[in-house]
């Protein structure tokens, strides 16, 4: 029996489903390490949706592991089931992009409500450094084949997302150029905000120097990024994370977490037992609301490049409010470089 945890049900507008904890890759920076494989059944998904659906629930995300491993037997029929109940629900699949074929591409072409977020960390030599399978074989060629399959089948509802680390910062420019070129075949454009830096990268002065070279090259060869950076600069505060506010993550085992990065902290609830940790929920909502108003260095920073993730903070520093020092320092230096190179504002953050 599936229990409705009412504070979650009433607040939720986005449901994230960890379709399976299994994956066909073993990316070096992945937080899903050495975990027992659990996978949703179609019956579970339908029951869960029926219990938690409200007029407010309008977006469902599929994550993993690699959610495309469940496409034929669980995900595709579940999408059709949801749409038979509510045609206004939209979907997003976070995928490594290695499992597309003509059959599922046809499905995506016929279901424009489904957006695909594909991980591509740059050119082959860069992507294959960390996005590998269990035998340390790179996945770049398979991702490119998958994207080409989507393009050949006329699928336009896809976007690209890159993650760089300290040893791949030098590829920032090349990553932007590759993703921008591929994104031309979709119905959305590629933005510099689609390239993120991993929290666990060991960034140093060499990382800053590599970033500077890339920003100089971007300014010279891609003048459109100036407008993108200008838009970033107009943000005086980050948008607060919606985890635990209107976004919740459901696992096949019955656990509900604040988000997919939250497995290092106690579960928020369990939809099989009916357990609910209201104290954790209230605590996190207060942290999330006050995070930029209760930390002095954040009050005086307002760095639009900062990706302040309380869950990542907890994983690396065991504290929701403490960013890994090297990450915070690196992002502040990156913004200083952007201000200097793009806008001639030397020394300003």
Count of CB atoms situated within 10 Å of the CB of 170 = 19
What 8-state DSSP symbol labels residue 321? Answer: T
pTM: 0.93
Domain extent listing, the chain:
6-233
The stretches of the chain forming alpha helices (DSSP H) are: 6-11, 42-52, 76-85, 102-110, 124-130, 140-152, 172-183, 205-221, 224-233, 278-290, 296-299, 310-317, 325-343
Residue 47 has which token pair?
Answer: 């029951």
Superfamily covering domain 6-233: Aldolase class I (3.20.20.70)
* Structure confidence by residue, pLDDT tens digits, 206-264: 999 999 999 999 999 998 899 988 887 776 555 567 888 999 999 999 999 999 988 77
Q: How far apart are CA 82 and CA 332, in angstroms?
A: 43
Q: How far apart are CA 342 and CA 224, in angstroms?
A: 11
Along the 349 residues of the chain, how does pLDDT read in single tens digits? 999 999 999 999 999 999 999 999 999 888 666 678 999 999 999 999 999 999 999 999 999 999 999 999 999 999 999 999 999 999 999 999 999 999 999 999 999 999 999 999 999 999 999 999 989 999 999 999 999 999 999 999 999 999 999 999 999 999 999 999 999 999 988 888 899 998 877 899 999 999 999 999 999 999 889 998 888 777 655 556 788 899 999 999 999 999 998 877 889 999 999 999 999 998 888 775 555 545 666 666 667 777 777 787 777 777 777 777 788 889 889 989 999 999 988 655 5
SS3 187: coil
- Average pLDDT of the chain is 90
Q: How far apart are CA 298 and CA 97, in angstroms?
A: 36
């Amino acid at each position: 029996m599936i229990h409705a945890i009412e504070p979650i049900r009433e607040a939720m507008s986005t449901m994230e489903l960890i379709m399976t904890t299994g994956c066909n890759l073993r990316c070096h920076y992945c937080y899903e390490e050495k975990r027992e494989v659990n996978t949703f059944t179609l019956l579970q998904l339908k029951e869960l949706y029926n219990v938690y659906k409200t007029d407010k629930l309008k977006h469902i995300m599929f994550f993993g592991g690699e959610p495309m491993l469940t496409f034929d037997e669980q995900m595709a029929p579940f999408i059709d089931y949801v749409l038979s109940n509510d045609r206004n629900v939209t979907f997003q699949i976070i995928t490594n992009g290695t499992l597309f074929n003509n059959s599922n591409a046809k499905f995506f072409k016929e279901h424009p409500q489904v957006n695909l977020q594909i991980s591509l960390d740059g050119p082959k030599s860069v992507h294959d450094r960390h996005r590998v399978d269990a035998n340390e074989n790179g996945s770049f060629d398979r991702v490119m084949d998958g994207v080409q399959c989507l393009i050949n089948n006329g699928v336009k509802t896809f976007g690209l997302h890159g993650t760089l680390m300290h040893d791949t910062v030098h590829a920032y420019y090349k990553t932007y150029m590759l993703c921008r070129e591929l994104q031309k075949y979709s119905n959305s454009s590629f933005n510099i905000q689609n390239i993120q830096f991993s929290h666990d990268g060991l960034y140093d002065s060499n990382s800053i120097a590599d970033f500077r070279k890339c920003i100089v090259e971007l300014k010279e060869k891609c003048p459109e990024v100036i407008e993108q950076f200008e838009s970033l600069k107009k943000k005086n505060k980050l948008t607060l994370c919606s985890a635990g506010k209107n976004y919740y993550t459901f696992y096949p085992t019955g656990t509900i977490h604040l988000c997919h990065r939250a497995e290092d902290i106690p579960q928020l609830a369990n939809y099989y037992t009916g357990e609910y940790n209201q104290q954790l929920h209230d605590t996190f909502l207060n942290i999330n609301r006050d995070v930029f108003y209760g930390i002095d260095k954040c009050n005086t920073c307002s760095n639009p490049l900062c990706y302040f993730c309380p869950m990542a903070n907890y994983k690396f520093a065991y504290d929701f409010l403490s960013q890994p020092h090297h990450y915070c320092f690196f992002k502040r230096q990156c913004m200083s470089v952007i201000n200097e190179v793009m806008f001639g504002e030397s020394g300003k953050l």
